[in-house]
Structure 1
Amino acid sequence: MKKIIYNLTVFCLFTATLMSTGCEKLIEIDPPLNETSSTLAFATDNSAKSTIAGMFATLAQSAAQNINLTVQPSLQADDLRYLGVSTQPLEIMNNSYTRISSLSNDHWSTWYNIIYQANLIVIGLEKSSTVTPALKTRLIAEAKFVRAYSYFNLVNMFGDVPLILETDVTKTAFQPRETVANIYQQMLKDLTEAKSGLLPDYSASSGDRSGVNQFACSALLARVYLFVGRYADAEASASEVIASSLYKVVEAADMGTKVFIKNSTECIWQLSPPLTATNQYTAEAGTLLPSTYTVANIQYRISKDLTDRFALTDLRYLRWMNNVTIGTEVYSLPFKYKYRTNALALAANVAEQTLILRLAEQYLIRAEARARIGTNLSGARDDMNVIRSRAQAALSTSTVQNTLLEEIALENRKEFFVEQGFRWFNLKRTGQADAVIGAIKPTYKPTAKLLPIPMVATDANPNLTQNEGYL
């Protein structure tokens, strides 16, 4: 393991100053790996499983995934407002971050740390002749899935970034940026290959949906296809997930309590709780929910621009927001995850987990894909109405293409508010960010659509150019 730890440490120093749970956590996860060499790490089935478990643990425990991927993009967009006085959240909300801000360091270092681990697993297992062939195939597929997911987040935050597919830092240390288009092609390659190597169920993770399967690949493929404008492929991939008997949209009566819990029927992929597997709360709730409902303690609220778009009878307004009246002011707080501490979750006997891929997204991906293709507009409307019906919102009757696209975009915003970067990424994908955010934030500049490449990375690599707008 010494070789692994050495290479990972060098890599982390090259990319950025790693968050406290980064490199250190890799060597804390499984004792069997602590004393082994990189060769022995992939010598047996158990050691190979430990390595893949370490990669997923790094992802689940990272602040970039379990807090910042939701909070930061929601502030960058128009769904969430910060009421405190700390400098960094204010910079994020005002889209006024600079090259010397620490905002981008966590994302850059975390996602590249996870990519490095995925590369290590792919390369190590491909060289191994002692791991059971079926297990080797599955673990390589899981690593490629996570690599694709990590690159999706990187390009949507930074734009062009280095495409690193190996572990030798002497070869990657001075690698220039690759185009977003080429990185998306690598994502599609990884996910297509991963899909054939994964199981069609959750038996590999003993039924736990923190494991990935073929349908998780199809779901992420559908998202990527939508982002690159391959709408027929997006429709087909989403249809595979929707047709599976594994998944079901949670009924209206239960949507307040059963969507974001462990192994929800709507869940395609979720992550274990932060810090320990026995925790039953999410870091998002711990960040977004106040300890007491007083003006002094409320740090985040949902924007009035968003709340005004809901009918007061919409179950997402009633069940996924906590609308607290203080004096004459109504504060709408994110309430998809309801327990801000483990003690509260244990007392309620509820286990919540960070939900990354869920069935509702697949209906809205297929709806948009069908609307953009234009040959099945009634099907696009019906897919969107599945989500509206569950929320007990008024159903659409339109079959006009532009109207449907506007309705689907709004439905995406309502369904996925303050969740995994959806609103911000979609505004940028559809070319609306400048008009929408520029109209409500005087400090907004078009260059703020991308984060600055961290200074520690550009200083270490002269071939790594900076994004426009950052000195």
Structure 2
Amino acid sequence: MKLVNKNIGAYPLYISILVLFSVLVSCKKFVDVSPPDGMLDWETTFNNEGSATAAVVELYPAYDKDVLPFLSYLCGLSADELVSTTTASAEFLNNSITITNTNNSSDLWATAFSNIRKCNLAIEGLNRSTNLTTGIKNQLSGEMKFMRAALLFNLLNLYGKIPLPLSIDELENAKLPRAGTEEAWSKILTDLQSAKALLKAEYPSAERARVNKYAASALLARAYLYHKEWAKAEAEASEVIGSGLYTLGNPTGTFKKGSNETILQLYAQTGRSPLATYYVPGNAGITPRYFLRAGFDLAFEKNTAGVDDLRKSNWTGKNNAGVYYVNKYKILTGSGDEYSIFLRLGELYLIRAEARAQQNKLNRSGSAETDLNVIRARAGLEDKTGLNKAAMLAAVEQERKLELFGEYPHRWFDLKRSAGFADASKSRADEVLMPLKGAFWQSTDVLFPIPSGQIRVNPALDQNAGY
């Protein structure tokens, strides 16, 4: 049976359904058997293919508009990527986030848990559905488990221990304590493994704008890398790279919606990524709200012919004042051909390079060196050869910095999760950010504070150290 919403661009057909679904999600009093009286019921939404699909695909534009931009620029400020023309984000730039900070409490914490509630409702509704085919239920359930895992992954890496609201019983969810980090990792990995098993290799919609099996595998590779399961990270990355569906192209087209490098992108009816609004100036006489830290441009190499790294020439811009900014997404107005990218092949090569280096697979065929140089070759740079383990890990970190800047909290999460190069008892965040940010930086800043309002309404939550 064909999906009614075969093309994700058909969102307007389901506006009334999405409104009702949002009302249900925002309701404070759920019970664990059925939704509240007068609200959308399982029969209406999750036993009908069109409305069930609409309820699921709603999460993609929500992530694009309400999750990805804030994660990207707030964590870029917290790391060594971005600075800002506005004082509103100064607490992130100075790693001095207060427990009442609105960006932290609303844009990072509350938005994530609101979307997790939607995932829980959809998963429950699909489990109870009696009319949907097995194929449709598997696809939609796989998408929701993927999205829930992605949201939990973000929260875990932002806050450390987090509550795990995995049911639709909001009364119980409101009283949950923070689960241990290993319990959270277990749930993230289980959701992604389940999603991968449920999903097919074929995309369920046009434009790679919904999750398929390889998107689940790609996020699983990232999760295994962060969890230091090197062999599993390598295996998942290899599965995606070896699928034949994705190829690296010229950097000029990486962030176009038709890019063959894209594993998963987020549909936007306008063809414009919300990230451009934050990163790109309206004209060369303006400095954007969030721009690259002074000296970031110097990290890019020139090749032996004296030509700049193609990522610098294609993915950064410079205004009349000489300020460099993130220029991956370029379209600010009108109709465009850019969607925000959730996952792309370049990251998978770097995941595999790091995982192989950690297993001492450093040189020759099937090694970290091979993967590192695939990325460097695409950037127009010469190969690096003969590196030992420490040098290889440093080289991979540098390529991640220059390949993935501005797209997601990659740099912030990388600095937090990695041991120091000079002193393994410290984090890379300590090594990099303490000299850069001076007295503002404390080792406890690697975790953001639990919002005070959440602790006030749920005394079972405890605060992170340093706040």
TM over 0.5, yes or no? yes
Residue in 2 aligned with 1:167? Answer: 168
Q: Is 1:8 matched up with 2:25?
A: yes
The answer to whether the 8 A contact 1:210-1:272 is kept is yes
Give the 3-state SS of the residue equivalent to 2:436 in structure 1.
Answer: coil
Cα drift, residue 117 of structure 1: 0.8
- Report the equivalent of 1:98: 98
SS of 1:337's equivalent in the other structure is: coil
Deviation at 1:388, TM superposition (A): 0.3
Q: Work out the CA distance in 2 between the residues paired with 1:42 and 1:139.
A: 10
User: Residue 286 in 1 paired to residue 303 in 2?
Assistant: no
Task: Work out which of the residue numbers 373, 377, 380 in structure 2 matches 1:385.
Answer: 373
Q: Map of 1:172-183 to 2, 5 A cutoff?
A: 172-183=173-184
Length, aligned pairs only: 426
Partner of 2:454: 457
Other-structure match for 2:352: 366
Q: Which residue of 2 aligns with 1:301?
A: 291
Query: What are the Cα deviations for residues 319-346 of structure 1, in whole angstroms up to 9, with x where unaligned?
Result: 11113343xxx211111111122x2xx3
User: How much does 1:3 deviate?
Assistant: 9.1
The corresponding residue for 1:68 is 70
Deviation digits for residues 354-399 of structure 1 (CA, Å, limit 9, x no counterpart)? 0110000110111111110013533111100000001012310124
Q: Give the SS at the match of 1:441.
A: helix
In 2: Cα distance, 1:226 partner to 1:239 partner? 13
Letter matched to residue 332 of structure 1: Y
Corresponding position of 1:336? 328
What is the Cα deviation at residue 98 of structure 1? 0.5
Counterpart for residue 27 of structure 1: none
- Cα deviation, residue 12, structure 1: 11
Distance (whole Å) between structure 2 residues aligned to residue 405 and residue 445 of structure 1 = 25
Which of 304, 318, 327 is 1:323 aligned to?
318
Q: Is the 8 A contact 1:155 1:161 kept in 2?
A: yes
Q: Deviations over 1:384-421 (max 9, x none)?
A: 00000010123101241111111111111011111201
Amino acid at match of 2:152: Y
Cα–Cα, structure 1 residues 302 and 5, in superposed 2: closer, same or farther, change >3 Å? Answer: closer
Tell me what 1:209 maps to. Answer: 208
CA contact (8 A) 1:370 1:377 kept: no
> Residue 291 of structure 2 aligns to a residue in which SS?
strand
What is the CA–CA distance in structure 1 between the aligned matches of 2:341 and 2:29, rounded to whole Å?
Answer: 27
1:80 is aligned to 2:82: yes
Q: How does 1:36-435 map to 2 (within 5 A)?
A: 36-62=40-66, 64-65=67-68, 67-82=69-84, 84=85, 86-105=86-105, 106-202=107-203, 204-205=204-205, 207-251=206-250, 255-256=251-252, 258-273=253-268, 277=269, 279-294=270-285, 297-312=287-302, 313-326=308-321, 330-341=322-333, 343=334, 346=335, 350-378=336-364, 379-430=367-418, 431-435=427-431
Identity across the alignment (%): 34
Q: Is the 8 A contact 2:309 2:380 kept in 1?
A: yes
Consecutive unaligned residues of structure 1, counting only runs of 5 or more, are: 14-33
Q: Which runs of 5+ in 2 are unaligned?
A: 1-16, 31-37, 303-307, 419-426
Distance apart, 1:175 and its partner CA: 0.3
* Structure 2 Cα separation of the partners of residues 263 and 186 of structure 1: 33
Q: What amino acid sits opposite 1:421 in the alignment?
A: P
Residues 441-456 of structure 1: matches in 2 within 5 Å? 441-442=437-438, 443-456=440-453
The 8 Å contact of residues 3 and 37 in structure 1, kept in 2 or not, is answered as no
Q: SS state of the match for residue 219, structure 2?
A: helix
Shifted more, 300-309 versus 459-468: the winner is 300-309
| Distance in structure 1 (CA, Å) of the matches to 2:248 and 2:281 | 29
| CA distance in 2: counterparts of 1:304 and 1:3, whole angstroms | 47
Amino acid at match of 1:367: A
8 Å contact from structure 2 (residues 363, 385) kept in 1: no
Cα root mean square deviation, aligned: 2.0
Q: Quick one: distance in 1 between partners of 2:21 and 2:240?
A: 37
TM-score when normalising by structure 2: 0.87
Match of 1:20 in 2: none
Q: Given the superposition, is the C-alpha separation of residues 241 and 37 from structure 1 closer, same or farther in structure 2, using an over 3 Å criterion?
A: same
Compare 179-188 and 360-369 and name the one that shifted more: 179-188
| Cα distance, 1:140–1:365 mapped onto 2, change above 3 Å | same
Task: Tell me which amino acid in the other structure corresponds to 1:286.
Answer: T
Distance 1:126 1:366 in 2: 35
Q: Note if contact 2:362-2:388 (Cα within 8 Å) is conserved in structure 1.
A: no
Residues 3 and 38, structure 1, Cα contact 8 Å, conserved in 2: no
Look up the equivalent residue of 2:267 and give its one-letter code. Answer: S
Deviation at 1:298, TM superposition (A): 3.8
